[in-house]
Structure 1
């Protein structure tokens, strides 16, 4: 990290970070969207005017404001205006509907709710009214503005909880994750430190700004002083013109995004799909080694992958100067200030190279959850967050994830890692994506089921052909699937397009 970025990263609050960057490079762009540009100076000045407009509506330090908005310049302005006031904001993914939105509004006790009105054919304002939301206002194009003279001084304390993010809630109600300005700055600093970016780069936001990756990425822009292209609706190949027009150098999101870019590149291998692109980066979902090798080989760009979650926006990240072996098979290393502890079933730390549960401690770790009971269950006696992820550390400090505790299949008393089988399946030329799940089985306890999404025009795969292939790859016999299902598309969420295994379990358990 440069000396300037390091100094900016010491800011106590997000608004202090905005002010410091605006003072350094006021005319440099920070956000690009279509024909529109927002500079760092405009982010500060317009952010203050929007904060004044919100203040006139009754928003004060500590007021809880929920917002459900797409990835737009206005959304970032609103978020930073709320940070200027010192309000508590709770972003909600715009694809969520009555159940998730109602839960978030009730649990957070939101006093105001910003909606996009009718967006992509759905009336969010009508839904908000039906849910009995308070203080509803639309913030898609027009934001309230006022005279900044009415504002109180900006918040000076960066350790007060001012953000409530929501876990995906794929198997139960979502959890409200509590973050501070400093935890979000620490997460973004980790990302910036690992990727070795500069002021000449152009980034991209193809994910919902309401995701924890929103502030994570924006902090990186503020630290290094470069812009990012925002995509309100991301789809390939439609989005490629924007990538090319703005000269994007850094793209990504998660493994599914890598696969989409790779598919576009394969349409014409003789022409680089985004001429200026030099780096794909992301996280949030497992990355099969073959995806790394295919991206580097076919797209002629580097790929760095990381490890993060709503509770800790950035834990580790691969660095562009890591070896290909490390980039393909690990999640990278943690930055200074992030402690990773690997423990056995008794909670005792294990040495490097030994698998166990991953636990975390550091400034980027959340303060817990809205529900105090969930907070008590989430941390151990030493203050480490219990992630539920399994893995091991290498002597170099790189982290290797081997699955989740709930993603271990127990067949006849033997533990089987779903990720190990998935990584091998991804190397099969016919397989676009794979999800391996455990299904209830009266005789075995659980049986191994591989659900496959195939490339267009690929040969049909059967249980016999899949098991023969895996045997040839050296997979132990007791780990071989006993069931293979082929689907047109694996079910995914709308944020980082993670595969929803619980839906597959529900479908095939019958």
Structure 2
């Protein structure tokens, strides 16, 4: 049998198999770094087994549904791996969800256990008290301590990687979340796509500054296990406060989503000329939201590192990914290329997907039937096209197409152009009902601190100067203190803007 390498490790059948193989390969190397604590690959395996044994004593069995709502901590990753060791079905929940979302998810998934931070409140909110209010079953605290017992009580690890063992929840851009069904293999395939595209090595140091309960958390963990390098975990993320950790650990790759790129860039701009924000940083990477071309060029120019952006969703956590050795044009204007196992089909402009990294559907069979076409391709609702080099270009979402006087207008096109305006920090373009036009084009702008006030005339003049067709120009401008975003990758919630300004 050939020696283990990242490209043989990604053939692992289950997450637990991958954990074991990496622990045998580089047992003493660190994998998780947080607040002066270090956990090695062997330590992750061993501690997860003891936690799995403690969970077994509590009554958790293969197939038992366990919900957890925990911050990004070493203990969270250990619990996640321990549940994978048991073959339990886990349903991660973002720590910022509250009674309605959490109660809905626990009831819909049939969770028999629920792990919360504790003891006491976390960031001013008492998750244990919430669990009592919503009638959660099997509540236990995992913030500072985890179940623990002798691994001798454990049964054999799960052998199948194609059973549904994960229920993730859509990020809240619709009124009710949908339970997305994943297997170990679908998540391993997504993580492998991320890992191989970014061209990382065992010498890198990564970072997880977003909620580990997001489906991207598992992607990132798989990447660490494949390539054998550590990541710095951030329970809360804010700059400049987090910079000491980034600098102290020599982080080489960071990011999360477009909002994170903008935060890093703003912090860089606050420094004296010639000083680099994170001296060791060579790559920003992420996905989850559109990345304007101008933001790519600004990061490269001002931060002195590459920016590789990808395309994913809860249903398929890694669809395409930019690579640091792509051209600047492709990195600025595309979402990267798909891995060999991901089929992309463009049907009437819509991106559709089929492959191992695509979910098995939803908890609600009716939602599953509506989401997949007759050939088994997932309807993403995203619009785009493939270039001659196989890179994917996204042009918007079906619901982001504004129909004005019978003409289709892409919100994404206008947003990309407005991001180039110095008085625009972020922007969302939406269609609003209009009796004469059907819909009118409204630009909702968030400005940087100290920027001069914007007028609609300023906006339209800027767009005209960049060659935008007259029929696409916004007819309304709204300036807000902050755009509404979700609590995972800070994606703008356009439905709230439509509700507010209609």
Structure 2: how far apart are the matches of 1:306 and 1:187?
A: 11
Q: Residue by residue, what CA displacement relative to the aligned partner does 1:190-226 show, whole Å, maximum 9, x if unpaired? A: 0001000000000000000100011100000000000
Deviates more, 1:101-110 or 1:447-456: 447-456
Aligned pair partner of 1:245 in 244, 248, 271:
248
Aligned pair partner of 1:201 in 196, 200, 204:
204
TM-score, length of structure 2 as denominator length: 0.98
Q: Is the 8 A contact 2:4 2:25 kept in 1?
A: no
Q: Residue by residue, what CA displacement relative to the aligned partner does 1:390-447 show, whole Å, maximum 9, x if unpaired? A: 0000010000000000000000110000000000000111111111000011111100
- TM-superposed CA distance for 1:503, in Å, is 1.2
Q: Is the 8 A contact 2:187 2:219 kept in 1?
A: yes
Q: Which residue of structure 1 aligns with residue 392 of structure 2?
A: 399
Q: Which residue of structure 2 aligns with residue 329 of structure 1?
A: 333
- TM-superposed CA distance for 1:169, in Å, is 2.8
- TM-superposed CA distance for 1:170, in Å, is 2.7
Structure 1: how far apart are the matches of 2:75 and 2:449?
A: 39
In structure 2, the residue corresponding to 1:122 is in which secondary structure?
coil
Structure 1: how far apart are the matches of 2:457 and 2:381?
A: 33
- TM-superposed CA distance for 1:3, in Å, is 6.7
Q: Which residue of structure 2 aligns with residue 66 of structure 1?
A: 67
Deviates more, 1:450-459 or 1:277-286: 450-459
Matches within 5 A, 1:304-453: 304-344=308-348, 356-453=349-446
Structure 1: how far apart are the matches of 2:402 and 2:20?
A: 50
Q: Structure 1 residues 3, 63: CA separation in 2 closer, same or farther (over 3 Å shift)? A: closer
- How many residues are aligned here? 497
Q: Which residue of structure 1 aligns with residue 7 of structure 2?
A: 6
Q: Which residue of structure 2 aligns with residue 225 of structure 1?
A: 228
Q: Which residue of structure 2 aligns with residue 255 of structure 1?
A: 258
Q: Which residue of structure 2 aligns with residue 454 of structure 1?
A: 447
After superposing on structure 2, the runs of 4+ consecutive aligned residues of structure 1 that deviate more than 3 Å are none
TM-score, length of structure 1 as denominator length: 0.97
- TM-superposed CA distance for 1:131, in Å, is 0.5
Q: Residue by residue, what CA displacement relative to the aligned partner does 1:443-481 show, whole Å, maximum 9, x if unpaired? A: 111000001111222221101111111111100010000
- TM-superposed CA distance for 1:486, in Å, is 1.0
In structure 1, the residue corresponding to 2:66 is in which secondary structure?
strand
Is residue 106 from structure 1 mapped to residue 110 from structure 2 by the alignment? no
- TM-superposed CA distance for 1:378, in Å, is 0.7
Q: Which residue of structure 1 aligns with residue 97 of structure 2?
A: 96
Q: Residue by residue, what CA displacement relative to the aligned partner does 1:66-93 show, whole Å, maximum 9, x if unpaired? A: 0000000000000000000000000000
Cα RMSD (Å)? 0.8
Is residue 152 from structure 1 mapped to residue 155 from structure 2 by the alignment? yes
In structure 1, the residue corresponding to 2:425 is in which secondary structure?
strand
Q: Is the 8 A contact 2:168 2:180 kept in 1?
A: yes
In structure 2, the residue corresponding to 1:119 is in which secondary structure?
coil
- TM-superposed CA distance for 1:506, in Å, is 1.0
Q: Which residue of structure 2 aligns with residue 466 of structure 1?
A: 459
Q: Which residue of structure 2 aligns with residue 57 of structure 1?
A: 58
Q: Which residue of structure 2 aligns with residue 115 of structure 1?
A: 116
Q: Which residue of structure 2 aligns with residue 500 of structure 1?
A: 493
Is residue 298 from structure 1 mapped to residue 302 from structure 2 by the alignment? yes
Q: Is the 8 A contact 2:171 2:488 kept in 1?
A: no
- TM-superposed CA distance for 1:172, in Å, is 2.0
Q: Which residue of structure 2 aligns with residue 485 of structure 1?
A: 478
Q: Which runs of 5+ in 1 are unaligned?
A: 345-355
Q: Residue by residue, what CA displacement relative to the aligned partner does 1:34-86 show, whole Å, maximum 9, x if unpaired? A: 10001000111110000000000000000000000000000000000000000
Q: Residue by residue, what CA displacement relative to the aligned partner does 1:242-288 show, whole Å, maximum 9, x if unpaired? A: 10011100000000100000000001232000011000000000000
Structure 2: how far apart are the matches of 1:173 and 1:293?
A: 37
Q: Which residue of structure 2 aligns with residue 28 of structure 1?
A: 29
Q: Which residue of structure 2 aligns with residue 78 of structure 1?
A: 79
Structure 2: how far apart are the matches of 1:245 and 1:469?
A: 42
